[in-house]
Amino acid sequence: MIFIDESQRDLLRIVWKDSIDDSIKTYRMNRVVYGTTYTPFLAQRVLKQLVTDDGHKYPLAASAVSADIFMNDLISGCSSISSAKQLKQELISLFSGAGMQLHKWSSNCIELLSNFHVSDGDVSLTIPDETKALGLLWRPQKDTLAFSVSSIVDISDSSTITKRSDLSSTARIFDPLGLISPVVTKAKLVMQEL
């Protein structure tokens, strides 16, 4: 949904051939391409501009977008159901004004999941057992956060734990919010001792 400035489109050309005998076709990208190195910056910059341009109309949404978004996930909360409903409506309005539609709504309150006007598959009208966001497992039924760290090394006669496997296990822990920093720090201290 993010257009590239016309002066920059020549920098994003794609050379294409349908078969080896066809002539070469050249395409220019008009929108930001997922996976390129500048995409994360542009995504965040567009959100910042959206808050600057229209945030005064939607103060709750502007605050949530400014503080509670990590890449393409917004994880936020409210102290009451009425303020959560207002936040939901403001977020929908803020993003629809920019031609964007929010997807993958989840809540621990069934009232917030009703009255959606989005395509099928984007909203479940039941509260899921767990959902993933930002490397976390959120369990809405109990309103708790959890981490799932898979066992990297299967301890058996044929495999042994090495410094490399320990370092690999520690590096695979994805915790962008720093919620389990004490655990990760302890793992790094064990690595130092090794």
Q: What is residue 90's predicted lDDT score, i.e. its pLDDT?
A: 94
- pLDDT mean over 53-67: 95
Cα separation, 10 vs 13, whole angstroms: 6
Q: Which region among 52-66, 90-104, 133-147 has the lowest average model confidence (pLDDT)?
A: 133-147
Q: 42 near 2, Cβ under 8 Å?
A: yes
Q: What is the mean pLDDT of the chain?
A: 83
pTM score above 0.75: no
Strands (E) in the chain, as ranges, are 13-16, 25-28, 69-70, 73-74, 131-133, 136-139, 144-146
The partner residues of 28 in beta bridges, in order of sequence, read 13
pLDDT, one tens digit per residue, over 156-191 is: 445 677 788 778 878 888 887 788 889 889 888 888
Closest C-alpha among 184, 146, 148 to residue 167: 184
**Residue given tokens 């500048």 in the structure block:** 38
The residue among 89 and 148 whose pLDDT is bigger is 89
CA nearest to 31, candidates 63, 11, 1: 1
**Non-local CB neighbours of 115 within 8 Å, separated by 6+ positions:** none
When pLDDT is averaged across residues 75-95 and rounded to a whole number, the result is 92
